[in-house]
Each structure stands twice: as C-alpha cells, then as structure tokens.
C-alpha cells in the first residue's frame, strides 16, 4: 500500500448525488479494493497510475479545513461520508481523519450519513451517539465467502458488517443495508436475497436499498474477467443482464418484492 499525506483545500464538497448536499472524502483511494468500484475514476483526477486499492492519499488537514467550512455553512445540510472512498477503510485505524471530522460535526445540526463496508465505525460509537441526525448504511452484495474474497478483498466480512449494524441499532442509531451492486447470479439468487433479508432484519436495520451494477466499460470488463475466472456458471446471467437491462431490472424487482413480502423489513429500489 502506497500512503501519501496530502493537504486539501476543501473537504466539504458539493455532491451531485440527489438528496446529498455535500460529500466528505477523508481519503483519495480505498484499501477495500472492491473489484466493481466505480470510484476508480479518481485515479484520473489524482494522477495515480497504481492499481485501485494499492494507494491512499490521506487528507491530513481535513478536520481543520472542515471546521472552517462548517463555520461558513449557514443552512442545515445533508453531509455524506463518503462518496468516492470508504471513510472506514483500513488506513482510518492509523490516521482517524474520519473520527476527527466527526468531532467537528457534533457541534452542528447537520444531517449526517455514513456508507461503509467496515465494522470500524463502531470505534466511533460515542461520537455517533452525540450527532442529532445520523444514519449509517452498510453495503453488502452477497454472503458468499468466496465471492466476497474475490470482489472485496480488503473489506471486513459481511458477518462483521451485520454485527456492527446490530450494535448501532441497539444504540438507537438508524441503520440500513445497501445491496449493491447486485451481480447477476451472485446477488440475485433467491437464496442470497433471502439470506440478506434475514440478516438485515435480525440485525435491526431499518430498511434495505437494492441497486444494480453500473456497466461502465472499465468496471464491467473487470467484473467479467473475474466472473469468467472464478464463477463461469454466472457468465450467461451476466450477459443476459448486459443485453436486457430494462427487462432484467423489472424481473429483479418482482423477485425481490415477492421474497421481501416474507420479511418484516422495508425495502426499496434505486433502479
């Protein structure tokens, strides 16, 4: 892992994502190294040529910059950690930039959301409890251990993520599960949807949001490279998705809705 400490000029950056006003990305790059990650485009902006997951730039002055920007921000806003990295990726254990940013945010009234794959968020439980409006989401795309190792080689296991949801829920912090990306065969299998629904419900998550895979050329080619190598039985299902997206999405919604009716947890779709 190549680590660089860098200075940022701005940390509270306007978001193009609907319902999120500002994103906070304490790091550039992500040690979780997910093989379907769309944030790989950050390599272009940051001038990195190393493979995605092999470098992280640490915005060492982010907490001080955030403090200055928060003082100037007059209207209540929705601020999200993080839009192009994971705020609780492994390097956070060393630098605690996310934690230091939360320490600034507890003095304000903004609506804060965190989306992560890491149970390290629990280390900041005391800070999270001091935020007036906070929601923590966990991404999970399958509970198949082999697929997790291959597609999310740097992330804590889904088991740890659900254990973290349970702890947060027990502490009255609102949680949700982001099933994304839904990979044909690996995510959309009836058994997998049932497992994710059951685990989310048992952990006390408030709701589940499902999304499909974005087929940007780079992402798609990488996903298919791994599917061909490790899950050849999934090739035909992936190709069907690629060539019939509208039909596939309709069928997936129908399948999830049918399975979801057996559970006592809300779910919705981002597609």
Binding footprint of ligand SF4 on the chain (CB under 6 A): 30, 32-34, 37, 39, 85-86, 117
Partner residues linked to 138 by β-bridges: 116, 177
Partner residues linked to 176 by β-bridges: 137, 207
By beta-carbon proximity to ligand SF4, the closer residue of 30 and 265 is: 30
Helices 235-243/245-260 angle, 10° precision:
110
Whether cis (ω within 30° of 0) applies to the bond prior to 48 is: no
Query: Min. distance of Cβ 246 from ligand SF4 in angstroms?
Result: 25
By beta-carbon proximity to ligand SF4, the closer residue of 217 and 243 is: 217
Q: Is residue 165 within 8 Å of residue 202, measured between CB atoms?
A: no
Query: Min. distance of Cβ 86 from ligand SF4 in angstroms?
Result: 4
38 secondary structure, DSSP code: G
By beta-carbon proximity to ligand SF4, the closer residue of 25 and 70 is: 25
Tokens of 80: 């999200």
Partner residues linked to 135 by β-bridges: 113, 174
Query: Min. distance of Cβ 154 from ligand SF4 in angstroms?
Result: 7
Query: Min. distance of Cβ 222 from ligand SF4 in angstroms?
Result: 12
Query: Min. distance of Cβ 38 from ligand SF4 in angstroms?
Result: 7
By beta-carbon proximity to ligand SF4, the closer residue of 84 and 256 is: 84
By beta-carbon proximity to ligand SF4, the closer residue of 30 and 227 is: 30
Helices 190-203/158-170 angle, 10° precision:
30
Q: Is residue 223 within 8 Å of residue 35, measured between CB atoms?
A: yes
Short-list 170, 164, 177, CA closest to 205: 177
**In whole angstroms, what is the distance from residue 59 CA to residue 61 CA?**
6
Query: Min. distance of Cβ 31 from ligand SF4 in angstroms?
Result: 8
Query: Min. distance of Cβ 218 from ligand SF4 in angstroms?
Result: 13
Residues 6 or more apart whose Cβ sits within 8 Å of residue 235: 224, 227, 228
By beta-carbon proximity to ligand SF4, the closer residue of 30 and 165 is: 30
Q: Which residues of 136-157 are buried (b: 16+ CB within 10 A; e: fewer)?
A: bbbbbbbbbeebbebbbebbbb
By beta-carbon proximity to ligand SF4, the closer residue of 92 and 124 is: 92
């Amino acid at each position: 892992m190549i680590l660089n400490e860098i200075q940022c000029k701005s940390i509270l950056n306007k978001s193009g994502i609907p319902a999120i006003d500002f994103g906070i990305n304490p790091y550039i790059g992500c040690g979780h190294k997910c093989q379907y990650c769309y944030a790989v485009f950050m390599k272009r902006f940051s001038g990195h040529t190393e493979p995605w997951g092999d470098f992280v730039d640490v915005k060492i002055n982010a907490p001080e910059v955030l403090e200055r920007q928060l003082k100037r921000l007059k209207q209540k806003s929705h601020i999200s950690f993080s839009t192009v990295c994971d705020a609780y990726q492994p390097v956070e254990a060393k630098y605690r930039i996310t934690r230091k940013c939360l320490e600034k945010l507890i003095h304000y009234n903004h609506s804060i959301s965190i989306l992560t794959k890491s149970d390290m968020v629990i280390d900041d439980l005391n800070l999270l409890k001091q935020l007036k409006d906070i929601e923590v989401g966990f991404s999970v795309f399958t509970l198949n251990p082999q697929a997790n190792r291959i597609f999310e080689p740097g992330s804590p296991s889904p088991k740890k993520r659900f254990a973290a949801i349970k702890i947060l829920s027990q502490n009255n912090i609102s949680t949700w599960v982001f099933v994304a990306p839904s990979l044909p065969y690996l995510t959309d299998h009836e058994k997998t949807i049932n497992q994710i629904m059951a685990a989310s419900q048992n952990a006390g998550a408030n709701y589940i949001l499902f999304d499909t895979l974005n087929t940007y050329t780079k992402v798609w080619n990488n996903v298919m490279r791994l599917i061909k190598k490790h899950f050849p039985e999934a090739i035909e299902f992936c190709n069907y998705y690629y060539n019939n997206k509208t039909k596939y999405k309709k069928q997936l919604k129908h399948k999830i809705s049918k399975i979801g009716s057996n559970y006592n947890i809300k779910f919705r779709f981002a597609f």
